Structure 1
Amino acid sequence: MTILVTGAAGTIGRNVVEQLVKRGASVRALVRDPAKADFPSGVDVVKGDLLDVDSLRSAFKGVSTLFLLNAVVPDEFTQALIALNTAREAGVDRLVYLSVIHSDVYVNVPHFAGKYGVERMIEKMGFSATILRPAYFISNDVTVKDVVLGYGVYPMPIGAKGLAMVDVRDIGEIAAIELIHRKNATRPLPLERINLVGPDTLTGPDVAAIWSDVLQRPVAYGGDDTAAFEQNLRNFMPGWMAYDMRLMSERFLSDGMVPEAGDVARLTAMLGRPLRSYREFAAGIAASV
C-alpha cells in the first residue's frame, strides 16, 4: 500500500518524499502542478488540492497512510478537515500530521490555534496518528541572512526565553520514520505526539553570538520590537500573515519554544545521529560568502 504525501512540493514535503523513497516505500506525491514536480524516480505524482474533494478522493485510492501538511493560509483549518474526512471516507486511518510545538500554549496565534484544532479532530476521529510538533525552523533564517551579512544585525525578535530551532531535514527524516512505522504496524497504534527540536535552545543574543563567531566579525541582536517586525513583514506578505507572525513573535518573547525533558535524546535515538544545529547552518552560509 502507498503513503500519500500532501504539500509534497514544499521544502518539508520534498524531504519527506525523499526519505520515504530511500527507505523503499511506495510514495504518492500530491501537488498542484505535476509539470513542475521533480521527485525521485518511482514516485507517483498526482495533481490535487486540499480544497478539491474530487482530487483527494482520487489521490486516496490505494493509500494506507497519510502525511498531512497544511500551508499557513487563511483556510488552513478547512483544508485539514476536508483531508481528514476524505481520508476516513477512503478507509485511511493511519497518518502523520505536521503541527507545531506549543500549539496548545500559543492559543491566540491563528496558525497555532488552527493546528491545535486539527490535532483535536485527529484525536476525536480516532486516527492512528503521530502528531509532529516542530519548533522554529532553522531555515527560516535564510530570509534574514542578507541583513546579518550586510548590516551585522540578527533581526528576528526571538527574545530571551529561547527557541529550540530545528532543521527541516531532521523533520523530514523523523516524519518518514513515523510514516513507515504506522504503515507497517500489524494493528493501529495509539496516538502519539513528538516535539521536533534542535540540539540547542537559543536566545536572540545566542544566535547573534553564533553569527559573530562564524563570520569573525560582530553581529548584534536587533531586539524585541514586534511592531517593527510586523511592519517589515508587510513589505512582502499579506497583512493578515504579518500580524499572525507578530503574534507568534510575541509568544516567543513571553514563552519561548523550550523542549521538554528527553526530547533531544529521543530524536537523537530515532535518527541514530546527532541533530543538526543552528551553528552548522550559519557556518554553511558563512562559507558560501
Structure 2
Amino acid sequence: MTILVTGATGTVGREVVHQLVKRGADVRALVRDPSKAALPEGVAIAKGDLLDVDSLRNAFTGVSTLFLLNAVTSDEFTQALVALNVARESGIERIVYLSVIHSDVYVNVPHFAVKFTVERMIETMGIHATILRPAYFFDNDRSITDVITGHGIYPMPIGGKGLAMIDARDLGEIAAIELQRREQADAPLPLERFHVVGPETLTGKDIAGIWSDVLGRPVVYPGDDPAGFEANLRQHMPGWTAFDMRLMSERFISDGMLPKPGDVERLTTMLGRPLRSYRDFARDEVAGSR
C-alpha cells in the first residue's frame, strides 16, 4: 500500500512527505530531478512530470493513494486533468486533492478558477477524493520578512475583511492524516471537501500589529494597493503570474478568506492540538528557528 505525493519538494508537499514518513507510511515522491529532492530516508523517488504520461504511468504503478498538488503554472489545469485521468486508468481510487478556499467565490482569479474546475471534474466523474481547501499560507510571508524587519512595513495587500491564514506545517499534517484515513479504509470513501484554516482571521493591520509586538518597534500596514503589488511582482515573475496575484489580492480586499463555523474546531480535533498562530510564525522567523 503506497502513497504517492506530487509536488513533494515544495513548501506543502515536503511537509506532507515528512508527516507520512513520521507515521510509518510507504511513501513515493514524484519529482522532476531526483538529485535535488533531498527527501527523508526511505522515501521512494519516481522521476517524472505531470505532463509526461509515460512517467506518470510508471510512477502510479502499485500506488493505492494519491496526494495531488499542482503548482500555479500556465498549464496547471492540463497537469491536473492528465494526472487524474492516469490515476483512474491505474486503478487509484483514494485521492486527496489540494485546492484552495473560496475556489468557487474567487471565480475571476485564474488559479482559483482552475482548482474549482478540477474539483468539478472530481465530483462529476465520481472520483473518491478529499478536496482540501486551504487558506493563505503564513509561509508566503517568508519572502517579505526582510521588508517587514528592515523597513517596518507589512506590504501584502490583504485588506480589512481578514484571512484565516494557515501554517504549511499544519496543512501538511492534516493532509497526511487524511491520506492515511483514506488509505486505511476498508473501501474507497465518498467525496468530501473541507476548509483548512488557521486559528484566527487576520487583517493587514492585525498582522502589522503582531510584527510590531514581536519586533518591539512599529510596523505599519500601508493600505490596499493591488496595482502597486502587481508592479512589484512583475520585477521577478512573469506578467501573467503577477496579474493573477493582483486579482487574488483584489478578492482578499473585497471578500476576505473567511472560515465556516466549526472549521477551526474540526482541524484542532484532527491534529489533537491547537493550530499554530501567525504570532508563532513571526517569532520563529525573527529567531530563525523554522
TM-score with structure 2 length normalisation? 0.98
SS at match of 1:4: strand
CA distance in 2, matches of 1:46, 1:287: 36
SS at match of 1:250: helix
Q: How far does residue 286 in structure 1 lie from its aligned partner after superposition?
A: 2.4
- In 2, are the aligned partners of 1:34 and 1:45 still within 8 Å (CA)? yes
- Structure 2 residue 13 is matched with structure 1 residue 13: yes
- In 2, are the aligned partners of 1:129 and 1:190 still within 8 Å (CA)? yes
- Give the structure 2 partner of residue 268 of structure 1: 268
- Give the structure 1 partner of residue 173 of structure 2: 173
Structure 1: segments with no counterpart, 5+ residues: none
- Amino acid of the structure 2 residue aligned with 1:222: P
- Give the structure 1 partner of residue 231 of structure 2: 231
CA distance in 2, matches of 1:288, 1:178: 30
Q: How far does residue 287 in structure 1 lie from its aligned partner after superposition?
A: 2.7
Structure 2: segments with no counterpart, 5+ residues: none
CA distance in 2, matches of 1:260, 1:48: 37
- In 2, are the aligned partners of 1:156 and 1:222 still within 8 Å (CA)? no
- Give the structure 1 partner of residue 110 of structure 2: 110
- Give the structure 2 partner of residue 34 of structure 1: 34
Q: How far does residue 288 in structure 1 lie from its aligned partner after superposition?
A: 3.9
Render the CA deviation track for 1:72-108: whole Å, top value 9, x for unaligned: 0000000000000000000001100000000000000
- Give the structure 1 partner of residue 54 of structure 2: 54
- Give the structure 2 partner of residue 135 of structure 1: 135
CA distance in 1, matches of 2:187, 2:285: 45
- Structure 2 residue 179 is matched with structure 1 residue 211: no
SS at match of 1:154: coil
CA distance in 1, matches of 2:147, 2:159: 18
Give the CA RMSD over aligned residues: 0.9
Amino-acid identity (%): 73
- Give the structure 2 partner of residue 248 of structure 1: 248
CA distance in 2, matches of 1:25, 1:216: 43
More divergent stretch after superposition (133-142 vs 38-47): 38-47
Render the CA deviation track for 1:248-282: whole Å, top value 9, x for unaligned: 00000000001000000000000000001100011
CA distance in 2, matches of 1:139, 1:186: 36
- Give the structure 2 partner of residue 222 of structure 1: 222
After the TM superposition, which parts of structure 1 deviate over 4 Å for at least 4 consecutive aligned residues?
A: none
- Give the structure 2 partner of residue 191 of structure 1: 191
Render the CA deviation track for 1:9-55: whole Å, top value 9, x for unaligned: 11111111111111111110000001111122211101000000000
CA distance in 2, matches of 1:141, 1:24: 31
SS at match of 2:28: strand
- State the aligned residue count: 289
- Give the structure 1 partner of residue 97 of structure 2: 97
- Written as runs of structure 1 = structure 2, the 5 A alignment for 1:48-87 is 48-87=48-87
- Give the structure 2 partner of residue 24 of structure 1: 24
SS at match of 1:274: coil
SS at match of 2:126: coil
- In 2, are the aligned partners of 1:128 and 1:182 still within 8 Å (CA)? no
CA distance in 2, matches of 1:283, 1:183: 36
SS at match of 1:210: helix
Q: How far does residue 188 in structure 1 lie from its aligned partner after superposition?
A: 1.5
